[in-house]
Amino acid sequence: MSWLPKSPKARRRLTLVAAIAPVLALAVGLTLWGLRDSISFFYTPSQAAAAHPPPGRSVQLGGMVRMGSVAKHPDGRVDFVVVDRTAEDKVSFQGDLPDLFREGQGVVAVGAFRGDGVFEAKQVLAKHDEKYMPPDLQKALKAQGEWRGDGSTPDYAKAQPPMQPQSQPKT
């Protein structure tokens, strides 16, 4: 007793499917393998801290630039801090920043984390106006409950004031 159909037409179809299926599976596998380096994941600083992307893997890091964190160096390198509500990542970028880049605004940096945890950006994208937010960043901020659609700078993006000693009232 054979597992093949008795009809010649059905046998031909089964043979055709049996020949095409492995070729198609191989083509899909090779395509996905070839595109593995082209895929770029989007993270906010807290998502990146949870996911621990390996050093050198290309990712997009989005968040707000902390007020007072931008440091420009004579060699053209710029360091700044990207924050969300719960985490922050130091970003280092060599090159010219977009004209719309400024502290307290949303950015998306494309690059990779280094072994020391600093994000080495190859490209920095800034908001287009005070109400625009990249869709991926907007979705992530909404999921964390920190989206402000009015374009205002969130409190966590503002510079942290130094702690002032408080005097105790005398009774």
Domain of residue 85, CATH code: 2.40.50.140
Residue 139 belongs to domain spanning:
41-157
My answer on whether 26 and 50 are in the same domain is no
My answer on whether 22 and 61 are in the same domain is no
My answer on whether 69 and 16 are in the same domain is no
Instruction: Give me the pLDDT at residue 141, please.
Output: 77
Alpha-carbon gap, residue 164 to 166, rounded angstroms: 6
Is 104 a domain residue?
yes
* Residue 4 DSSP code: S
Whole-model pTM: value is: 0.61
Domain count, the chain: 2
Task: Give me the sign of the Cα torsion angle 57, 108, 91, 160.
Answer: negative
My answer on whether 17 and 75 are in the same domain is no
My answer on whether 54 and 101 are in the same domain is yes
Alpha-carbon gap, residue 118 to 57, rounded angstroms: 13
Alpha-carbon gap, residue 89 to 73, rounded angstroms: 19
My answer on whether 62 and 116 are in the same domain is yes
Residues 8-55: tens digit of each pLDDT: 898 899 899 999 999 999 999 999 888 876 777 889 999 999 989 889
My answer on whether 18 and 89 are in the same domain is no
Instruction: Give me the pLDDT at residue 154, please.
Output: 63
My answer on whether 75 and 131 are in the same domain is yes
- pLDDT bin (cut points 50, 70, 90) of residue 165 is very low
